[in-house]
Amino acid sequence: MSEPHALLDLIGRLEGGRVLCVGDVMLDRFVYGDVDRISPEAPIPVLRVRREEAMLGGAGNVVRNLVALGGAPHFLAVVGDDTAGREVSRLVGDHHTVDPRMVVEPERQTTIKTRFIGGTQQLLRADHETQSMLSSNARDQLLSEAKELIPQVAVVVLSDYGKGVLASGLTQAVIAASRAAGKPTIVDPKGTDYTVYRGATLVTPNRKELHEATGRPVGTDDEIVVAARQLIDLCGIEQVLATRSQDGMSLVTATEAVHLKAEAREVFDVSGAGDTVVATLAGALAAGATLEEAARLANVAAGIVVGKVGTAVAYADDLVAALHHAEVAVAEHKFASRHAALEQVARWRHLGKKIGFTNGCFDLLHPGHVSLLDQARGQCDRLVVGLNSDASVKRLKGETRPVQTETSRATVLASLSAVDLVVIFEEDTPLELIKALKPDVLVKGADYRVDQVVGGDVVIGSGGRVFLADLKAGHSTTSTIARMAK
């Protein structure tokens, strides 16, 4: 099986993965606005605030990524008895597949990182944080919860941001309990003393962290391997996955090394990419992947999140879309996951573009299809095509269909000038996709009445319209296949 196909199969097994994440949670706040003048009080920009957002950061971002991949993580962290701590607990509770085990330490200040952004430029980051070790009561409660959960999960993640939660011997105690239960432990490390991670299955330093922990140069593949093996030898760590930004990743063991090229096509923001890597590794291992397979999938995920703005996550369907890109030469902007399509449509709407939508199986593309797509594109500024997945086509058309795979069908559609975006959907109808995209124009063939068009009521109810395209006589996939059979 080729690598993209093997990884696509792996993505299908991520659902429900049981991972325990222990670490430093924080609240990431984003204040967005415009800057059009300098303050008269000091030579600094004045940010006119437009909106504010808050999301889980630190270990919380690892959990967000696990949820995005379909996992069902347990989350152990410590918050203060303060407004930010309660907001963290609420945000964790919003993810219904997470088992939250928040320990409240009254004297602790919940860590907050506030980023002020003017346009697309980050102007300032302000941190409120505690870096002190846990009280003995909080530590004992956390360790007790961890020992209870470890036998129930497939993988344990330690997300160390240096805020004190994993200090005072807790790291070693959790690693020891994981080893005793036969569960792999992945550590996102902090600091320069990696002996505190002795016994871990894998640590994931970035290039800078690897240099600081070993004092060795880390500019080339060979230098990365030497530095990583120093950690393995001196710190009792089984394996190292060094993330190297634009140079990809290096998976190093005592005897082997695999270097993976970076998958990113465009880099907008590297915030949280390390959390995505750790979450994808853990989710893949929980699904039964080998460490090399997990690293390859994590490399794909990292390439996705650095192409998004802010502390982003990689969804399972983002990974599917990215792997389809690896398999066929489709223009990136024309082949998108559902989440990526929502982001792209939002950008088009911001530019005042009218969004059109049509859908179908498009198996053996024929002149009738081309005519419908041309008519659809004439009704809008940007046309999104919903494409039934292979499984969906089989349910609708029978065991002998589709003739072409969803990847091949998407490739042909994306090559047409009338089509601006192709989104594969798994359901039998595109209703959920239509509800999410809210197109301005919904297009179907004139063999339907308006009241028969799936999603027509949704589009009309939101102020849009349904357009029935003329059909080109004498063309259908079914009749073409029948003629071929004769």
Alpha-helical runs (H) found in 333-476: 338-350, 367-377, 390-397, 406-414, 431-437, 456-461
Alpha carbon distance 349, 355 (integer Å):
8
Tokens of residue 328, six digits: 């066929």
What phi and psi, each to the nearest 5 degrees, are found at residue 418?
A: -75, -20
Given the residues 28, 160, 188, 275, the one annotated as active site: 275
- CA neighbours within 13 Å on the CB side: how many for 155? 31
Alpha-helical runs (H) found in 2-159: 3-11, 59-68, 83-93, 136-149
Residue 390: what residue type? D
Please check whether residue 25 is in contact with residue 113, taking contact to mean a CB–CB distance below 8 angstroms: no
Alpha carbon distance 189, 334 (integer Å):
38
Tokens of residue 84, six digits: 């930010």
Active site annotation includes 221: no
What phi and psi, each to the nearest 5 degrees, are found at residue 276?
A: -65, -40
How crowded is residue 70: how many other Cβ atoms within 10 Å of its Cβ?
19
DSSP state of 362: -
| Residue appearing with tokens 């002795």 | 198
Helices 273-286/59-68 angle, 10° precision? 50
Q: Which stretch of DSSP H or E encloses residue 467?
A: strand 465-469
Torsion sign over Cα 221, 226, 231, 237? positive
Tokens of residue 41, six digits: 């009080």
Instruction: Provide CB contacts within 8 A for 447, sequence distance 6+.
Output: 471
- Tell me how far CA of residue 349 lies from CA of 343, 379, 438, in angstroms: 10, 15, 11
- CA neighbours within 13 Å on the CB side: how many for 434? 28
Alpha carbon distance 156, 473 (integer Å):
60
Residues marked active site are found at 275
